[in-house]
Amino acid sequence: MSESDPEQDRTSLKRLFLDALERVNRGRPASAYLLLAILVVAGLSTHVVHILDSPHRMALWLTLNLVFFFVVFVRAVFDCGEILRDYVVNRERAFRETLGEEEFVERMHHNVTLGE
């Protein structure tokens, strides 16, 4: 065995890991990362009680927090709209594939009349 084989194996394992990580993150919406960011911002905001003596710093910090949470809220509204749009499209497609097809309705009617 040559010394380049272990290096090649490490590179391939690294590549496999990075490809798997990319595949996992491809389907994840941005709001998932914003949920993690909310935890970080909330944790970093705990020191606001120590800056009560500086109104300008406190106002700046609270303004930054409000802007951040407004961005998160807007993103959540857009995600809800996207989920609703996907739901409507899939509901319409399911209707067309089942009750929207004459052949399917005729088979269902035939099965119901045989059952009586």
pLDDT average, residue stretch 69-90: 89
Q: Residue 90: pLDDT above 90?
A: yes
Q: What is the pLDDT of residue 105?
A: 79
Mean pLDDT score across all residues of the chain: 80
105 CB contacts (<8 Å, ≥6 apart)?
99
pLDDT average, residue stretch 8-30: 75
37 CB contacts (<8 Å, ≥6 apart)?
68, 72
The answer to whether 51 and 65 have CB atoms below 8 angstroms apart is no
Task: Quick: pLDDT tens for 36-73.
Answer: 888 888 888 777 777 777 888 888 888 988 998 898 88
pLDDT average, residue stretch 82-92: 92
**pTM score of the predicted model:** 0.56
Under the banding of pLDDT at 50, 70 and 90, the label for residue 1 is very low
